[in-house]
Amino acid sequence: MCACRSLEKRRFMEKSRQRNFANKRSRTGCRTCRARHVKCDEAPGACGNCTSSGRSCDGYDLQRLPPPARSSRKQTPWSRLLPEVGGGIRWVTNTDERRCFSYFQYYTIPTLSGFFNSLLWEKLVLQMSYAEPAVYHAAVALSAIHQDVEMHGMPLPGQELELYNTWHRFTMEQAGRSFAILNERHFSQDPRLREVMLLCCLLFVLMELLRGRYDDAFQHLEGGLRILNELKAQRQLVTWAPHGSPVEEALVAAFAQLDIQAASFKIGGPILRIEDELDVCATEDYQLFSNVREARRAIEPLLSRAFGFLMDCWSKSDKEIICNYKGLLQGQQKLFSELNHFSAQFDTFYNYSYTRLNRKDQRGADMINILRHTTSLSMRTALIRDEVLLSQYQPEYKANLALIEAVMYKFRERPNYTLDMGVVPPLYIISIGCPDYSLRWRAIELLRAWPHREGVFDSNWAAFIAEEHIKTELRLQGFHAIDGLSGYARDGGSPTSSVESKEDSKTEEKLEKGRWSTLGQEEYSIEQGLENTKCMEDWPCVQSLMAARRRCTLGYP
């Protein structure tokens, strides 16, 4: 009995010593001393331990994250389950970096590839993160801001939040480390340097989008696209034979997606012009699609051309449409021919293969189906300015909205940040272009019900702009009380019934699971965004809203 008590006492004292040692470990020493597990003298600039022994001091961490709370409402279930990643990293890292990289590996990567299988996110990014310090720190930066928006919500364009947020400051420090490593290797002859630079550039784009910093995001995107354009790398997207390394091919596809999306914001794109390469391959007889990847690869050049056509049409006045009608009509007919060719192939694949696909590929096929229907409807209405003619397409808007809603109900696991287009652009088009206010409000409600980002598209920003459009339009019709606008609009012109309100609330409650909150949206104004985001004044969605507001101020439609 005495021996047992003595053994228990020794174990207790040993655990106490371990706890005391852990409590005394410094979080403020230089990175080199902490990696060596020695006490740092924390001398300014470079510590004496390193300089006296001839070692290179890696400096001090300017920003540290708050320790994860053991019990907090903001702590999500996955944050307690993620293992720490450290094995395989050959350079000095701290606990905050390992914590964020674990989140990146086990949560951010699966989220980014939420709609489609992706070699880039599921394999290549992780491999390069373990091999390249610059990629590692860029991944940690993206992970940190991803965690912040999970906890606190997405900032809308121009919201200045990073000065008051530890996570934002840590993000920028990690991005700075990545930049510094890339600058050191700028004149290197390493053949992999270009791939490292492009991958870091892609991660920076995604990071800045999550921060709501569109100026910086589009600047990074343009830099990466110009490098690829000089290499004529876009040819890989429209021919079936591989041209470069798997990393380069995957990066080209990712940048091409963002290039197509950014064209909607009138940021001088698309830069890669993959639709030009489509002309080269247009005479080839494509085989029927054997998988979702082939269908997705075939529709992206079409989307690039269609987005360019739609942006051109939507930015023209009624008079300009009339003056250029013949040329616009020819472009429209050519696009219809290409889209019909794709639709014939896709319908065959969708009808015969859908039930045999796994759940993720089914979601991908459904997203492609939504995009091709939305693109077709948008092109058919792009040249129409007459409200009576536009009202004839109301059944198609309604059918498209029902298709989107059915897909949202079918897939309950909803990623909050993905590189691929899915439901945000289609819902935005309905919320802006449909002649029926009740359908427009339903589209806005669906955007609100699934707060997330699809590449450059933000569901909360789309909902905000669409709602402001409706309010402005109704003011032009004589409705000056803001509180009464939504009730009028939801019912297409009459007060919303209590039964409909109950049904809407039930639907909203169903869709509310997994909600990704929006930070400070109630206090947000478009003027705030314009003040802090220079490129915003060129966005077609903003230009059309500001023009409508000016008409409202002047008192004419």
When comparing pLDDT for 97 and 242, which is higher?
97
Determine whether 60 is exposed, middle or buried from the number of CB atoms within 10 Å of its CB (0-12, 13-18, 19+).
middle
pLDDT of residue 432: 93
Mean pLDDT along residues 186-201:
87
Whole-number Å distance between alpha carbons of 127 and 138: 14
Task: Give me the CATH topology for the region 292-385.
Answer: Topoisomerase I; Chain A, domain 4 (1.10.132)
Give the bridge partners for 417, in sequence order: 453
- Triad 377, 381, 383: Cα angle to 5°: 145
pLDDT of residue 185: 86
When comparing pLDDT for 349 and 70, which is higher?
349
pLDDT of residue 360: 92
Q: b vs e for 68-95, b when ≥16 Cβ sit within 10 Å of the residue's Cβ?
A: eeeeeeeeeeebeebeebeeebeeebee
Cβ–Cβ under 8 Å, residues 284 and 341: no
Hey, is 320 helix, strand or coil?
A: helix
User: The tokens of 186 are what?
Assistant: 């700028």
- Triad 401, 517, 462: Cα angle to 5°: 40
pLDDT of residue 497: 34
DSSP H helical segments within 354-481, as ranges? 359-381, 387-391, 394-410, 424-433, 437-449, 459-476
Hey, is 379 helix, strand or coil?
A: helix
Determine which of 42-56, 196-210, 499-513, 524-538 has the lowest per-residue pLDDT on average: 499-513
Q: Where on the phi/psi map is residue 384: left (φ > 0), alpha (ψ -120 to 50), or beta?
A: beta
- Locate the domains of the chain by residue range: 95-284, 292-385, 414-557
When comparing pLDDT for 478 and 343, which is higher?
343
Determine which of 209-213, 252-256, 451-455 has the lowest per-residue pLDDT on average: 252-256
Determine which of 32-36, 242-246, 385-389, 468-472 has the lowest per-residue pLDDT on average: 242-246
Hey, is 287 helix, strand or coil?
A: coil
Mean pLDDT along residues 254-263:
88
pLDDT of residue 1: 52
Mean pLDDT along residues 519-527:
70
pLDDT of residue 485: 47
List the one residue out of 314, 59, 20, 309 whose CA is nearest residue 173.
59
Determine which of 284-293, 427-436, 450-459 has the lowest per-residue pLDDT on average: 284-293
Percent of the chain with pLDDT over 70: 72
Residue 294: φ, ψ to 5°: -65, -40
Mean pLDDT along residues 141-167:
83
Residue 273 has pLDDT above 60, yes or no: yes
Percent of the chain with pLDDT over 90: 40
Band (pLDDT 50/70/90 cuts) for residue 494 is very low
Residue 10 has pLDDT above 70, yes or no: no
Report the relative pairing of strands 453-454 and 417-418 from DSSP bridges: parallel
Q: b vs e for 294-310, b when ≥16 Cβ sit within 10 Å of the residue's Cβ?
A: bbbbbbbbbbbbbbbbb
Sequence-distant (≥ 6) Cβ neighbours of residue 426 within 8 angstroms? 370, 371, 373, 374, 400, 404
Q: What is the pLDDT of residues 355-381, one digit of tens each?
A: 999 999 999 999 999 999 999 999 999
Hey, is 418 helix, strand or coil?
A: strand
Q: Classify the C-alpha dihedral 442-412-76-134 as positive or negative.
A: negative
List the one residue out of 243, 339, 385, 359 whose CA is nearest residue 292.
359
Residue 201: φ, ψ to 5°: -60, -45
Residue 530 has pLDDT above 70, yes or no: yes
Whole-number Å distance between alpha carbons of 436 and 549: 21
Residue 63 has pLDDT above 70, yes or no: no
Q: What is the pLDDT of residues 216-256, one digit of tens each?
A: 999 999 999 888 877 765 555 444 334 556 777 888 889 98
pLDDT of residue 104: 95
pLDDT of residue 204: 98
Residue 141 has pLDDT above 90, yes or no: yes
pLDDT of residue 345: 92
The secondary structure of 183-210 as a DSSP string is HHTTT---TTHHHHHHHHHHHHHHHHHH
Q: Classify the C-alpha dihedral 253-258-263-268 as positive or negative.
A: negative
Q: How high is the mean pLDDT of the chain?
A: 79
Amino acid of residue 504: D
The residue behind tokens 């616009």 is: 328
Q: What is the pLDDT of residues 302-312, one digit of tens each?
A: 888 888 888 88
The residue behind tokens 């050959």 is: 90
pLDDT of residue 386: 87
